[in-house]
Amino acid sequence: MNILLDMFVTFAKVGVMTFGGGYAMLPVLQREVVENKGWAAEEELMDYFAIGQCTPGIIAVNTATFIGQKKKGVAGGIIATLGVVFPSLVIISLLAGVITAFSHLAWVNHAFGGIRICVCVLILNAVVKLYKKAVVDRVTLAVFLIVSLGSYFLPVSPIIFIVLAAALGIVLQNIKGGK
């Protein structure tokens, strides 16, 4: 199959998981991009998630753009981005008129309650997978705990935490004499 068509179809599969936003797509992205297609390594995907979180837009869309660009340049970035957003456009277009007509029904509200719970589980699964790969020693555990507590208790932009954690990573690698 043509790589661009394959890329569009793969990211469209990911895009169907937009219930709950970009974070809900992370486990699906990981499975499709790393395990099924081999388009990125686990660590590389984590880097894309981190960069995607720092840049404007939805993390999954940004990640798809990075992966598409890596595989097939600008055309790949555009195709991957279109693939991941296409299902959302179709679903939103179909639901927009219907949802207002049925939003007062109890079963619709209960269905959305169930979807919210499922999205929480998908996000938790993504966090656990990322945690296992990112927290590898006491230093990374300390950074994880500091950022977790700081982001919960302090009214600080996530960008501040990301920049500080990146700077700390650079400093610690230089102290350890790493690359």
Question: Model pTM?
Answer: 0.61
DSSP-assigned letter for residue 2: -
The rounded distance, in Å, linking the Cα atoms of 58 and 39 is: 20
Q: How confident is the model at residue 73 (pLDDT cuts 50, 70, 90)?
A: very high
- Give the residue among 106, 71, 115, 81 at the shortest CA–CA distance from 8: 81
pLDDT tens digits, 124-159:
888 888 898 889 999 899 999 999 999 999 999 888
Per-residue confidence (pLDDT) for residue 152, from 0 to 100: 93
- Supply 77's token pair: 């970035």
**Segments making up each domain of the chain, as ranges:** 3-133, 135-179
Per-residue confidence (pLDDT) for residue 21, from 0 to 100: 65
The rounded distance, in Å, linking the Cα atoms of 152 and 177 is: 33
pLDDT tens digits, 9-57:
999 988 887 666 667 777 888 888 899 999 998 888 888 888 887 787 7
Per-residue confidence (pLDDT) for residue 108, from 0 to 100: 84
CB atoms within 10 A of CB 45: 23
DSSP helix/strand/coil, 25: helix
